[in-house]
Amino acid sequence: MTLTVAVRNVFRNRRRALISLLVIAVGLTILSFVLGFVGEAIQATRRSLAMELGALQVGDPRVLDGRASGLEGLISPGDLSRALDLVGGIPGVVRATPQVRFAGLIGDAEGSTFLLAQGVVPADRGDDFARVLASGRFLGDPAAREIVLGARLAERLGVGPGDRVNVATGTVSGTFNAATVTVVGTVRLADGQIEERIGLVPLGFAQRLLRTDGVERILIWLDDLDRAPAAADALAGELAAAGLPLAVRRWDELTPFYSSLETFWGAFSGFTTLAVFVLVFFSVLEVLTIAFLERTREVGTIRALGASPGRVFRGFVTEGVVIGALGGLGGVASGVALSLVFNALGLSFVPPGGNMPQPIRVSVGPSTVLLPFLVALGATFLSSLYPAAKTARLPVVEALRTT
């Protein structure tokens, strides 16, 4: 009964009610859209980093923490085999592959430039790089003298698939080694600066060039990125129990900037949520205060007929909650509709320092629906407390005298 009466009272002044609902709906539409945009941005960053780095990495602590000098701390073949056996027993592991990275020079008789090379197992990383191939093909033979260059690096060198270039670097023992390799393909990467330096070579060739049979680290991918903390703890325990001097690091521990990025987006979302909350609170407070004051004589009549102040208070608060619920439903619905339309447009942009267009999307899910709706309910509930309490406490005689 109280709810039915509250709904009727809300629409006694339709114009005022519609203005209140419109303010709430517009605020929640903006909030829902912002939360969806931020949520998708964070998830896209997580997916990108995890695809590049793996969900977990195993290696010497000095290597993983960036404290290694040169090529020290490589994993020996024996330790690599034992570690891979342990990795295979961890729940959720999709694949694991060894890798070695080194810095050097690349060029020909006309000049050379800086190279950041990765020695990879072609069969393990082919699918990762197939989608970003700009020309040619990916690496084939795990020991061949082949290289896939970043497209910008290839353009700087003036080479393409089929051309031959020289690669030079320091070996594990500190001597100098060089080899001639064939460019078999080029890749386009999201980060233009990396694309100007990167070169991918077969792991077997990289080991021969560095004169070592070790690897730098093991990259591990999981079926669910959220399982990374538990998998890291489990694997670290297995490695310690096996007596292997190797550490485990999660993808987010290998990219310190992600924490700062997540904090920024979280603060941005929090500020937007607070702004919408304040907007709805004061807008509804003003509307309800006027509406309740206009019905002071009506309140006096109800009180004279035996209604308690608590009953009057509950009725007015219910009206505020009804406004919040109706406005919240409208705002969430319009926010979801706006997000779906925006996603259908297929917009993209090239980020600063980037090289490839990145899609701009807005996620639609429980977080973009439930939180805005709760903001509407909370703001309207709180905004109704003061005018409801003030009106309900008016003496009956004073209320009846109000014109």
Q: HEC states along 337-379? A: HHHHHHHHHCCEECCCCECCCEECCCCCCHHHHHHHHHHHHHH
Q: Both 203 and 119 in a single domain?
A: yes
Question: Is residue 175 in some structural domain?
Answer: yes
Q: Are residues 207 and 272 in the same domain?
A: no
pLDDT at 256: 74
**Taking 70 as the threshold, does the pLDDT of residue 398 lie above it?**
no
Highest mean pLDDT among 69-73, 205-209, 256-260, 277-281: 205-209
Question: Which of 194, 219, 244 is a domain's end point?
Answer: 219
Does residue 372 belong to any structural domain of this protein?
yes
* Residue 144, number of CB atoms within 10 A of its CB: 16
Instruction: Report the range of poorest mean pLDDT among 54-58, 124-128, 163-167, 209-213.
Output: 124-128
Do residues 213 and 303 share a domain?
A: no
Asked whether the beta carbons of 228 and 251 are under 8 A apart, the reply is yes
Q: What percent of the chain has pLDDT over 70?
A: 89
Quick one: average pLDDT of 306-315? 74
Mean pLDDT of the chain: 85
| Torsions phi, psi for 298 (to 5 deg) | -65, -40
Confidence of residue 362 (pLDDT cuts 50, 70, 90): confident
DSSP per-residue string spanning 16-85:
HHHHHHHHHHHHHHHHHHHHHHHHHHHHHHHHHHHHHH-SEEEE-HHHHTT---TTTTPBPHHHHHHHHH
Is the domain of 268 the same as that of 318? yes
In the predicted structure, residue 288 carries a pLDDT above the cut 60:
yes
Q: Measure the CA–CA gap between 25 and 335, rounded to whole angstroms.
A: 9
Does residue 124 or residue 390 have the better pLDDT? 124
Q: Are residues 112 and 197 in the same domain?
A: yes
**pLDDT single digits (tens) 108-138:** 777 789 999 999 999 998 888 888 899 999 9
Token code pair at residue 153: 């690096």
Q: For residue 13, what pLDDT is reported? A: 65
**Residue 196 near residue 42 (C-beta atoms within 8 A):** no
Q: Between these two residues, 140 and 303, which has the higher pLDDT value?
A: 140
Instruction: Round to whole Å and give the CA distance between 339 and 151.
Output: 35
Please give the average per-residue pLDDT across 268-297, as a whole number: 80
**Is residue 338 included in any domain, yes or no?**
yes
Asked, for residue 168, whether it belongs to a domain, the answer is yes
Strand partners, 221: 95
Residues 361 and 263 reside in one and the same domain: yes
241 vs 173, higher pLDDT: 241
Same domain, 269 and 306: yes
Residues 391 and 279 both lie in one domain: yes
Q: Looking at the structure, tell me whether residues 162 and 131 fall in a common domain.
A: yes
Question: Which letter, b or e, does each residue of 351-385 get, where b requires 16 or more Cβ atoms within 10 Å of its Cβ?
Answer: eeeebbeeebbbbbeeebbebbbebbbbbbbbbbe
Please, are residues 282 and 23 in contact by the beta-carbon 8 Å criterion?
Answer: no
Same domain, 365 and 337: yes
Q: Are residue 153 and residue 185 in the same domain, yes or no?
A: yes
* pLDDT band at residue 3 using 50, 70 and 90 as cut-offs: low
Say which residue, 395 or 106, is predicted with more confidence.
106
Give dist(CA 138, CA 218) in Å, integer: 21
The pLDDT value recorded for residue 350 is 59
What pLDDT score does 7 carry?
66
Number of separate domains in the chain: 2
**Rounded Cα gap, residues 328 and 23, in angstroms:** 10
pLDDT at 1 over 50: no
| DSSP assignment string, 183-210 | EEEEE--SBHHHHTTEEEEEHHHHHHHH
pLDDT band at 322, cuts 50/70/90?
confident
Amino acid at site 257: F
Residues 246-281: pLDDT tens digits?
999 998 888 877 778 778 888 888 888 888 888 888
Of residues 101 and 283, the one with the higher pLDDT is 101
Q: Specify the pLDDT at position 5.
A: 64
Tell me the residue range of the domain where 142 lies. Answer: 61-77+93-219
Euclidean distance between CA atoms 273 and 36, whole angstroms: 12
Which of 22-31, 159-168, 207-216, 311-320 comes out lowest in average pLDDT?
Answer: 311-320
**Confidence band (pLDDT; 50, 70, 90) for 353?**
very low
Give the per-residue pLDDT at 356.
Answer: 57
Q: What beta strand segments (E) does 173-275 contain? A: 176-187, 198-202, 217-222, 247-250
- State which of 188, 219, 250 marks the end of a domain: 219
Q: Are residues 293 and 173 in the same domain?
A: no
**Res. 46: pLDDT tops 90:** no
Residue 209, domain CATH: 2.40.70
pTM, full prediction: 0.75
Query: What is the SS3 assignment for 275?
Result: helix
Of 360 and 295, the structure prediction assigns the larger pLDDT to 360
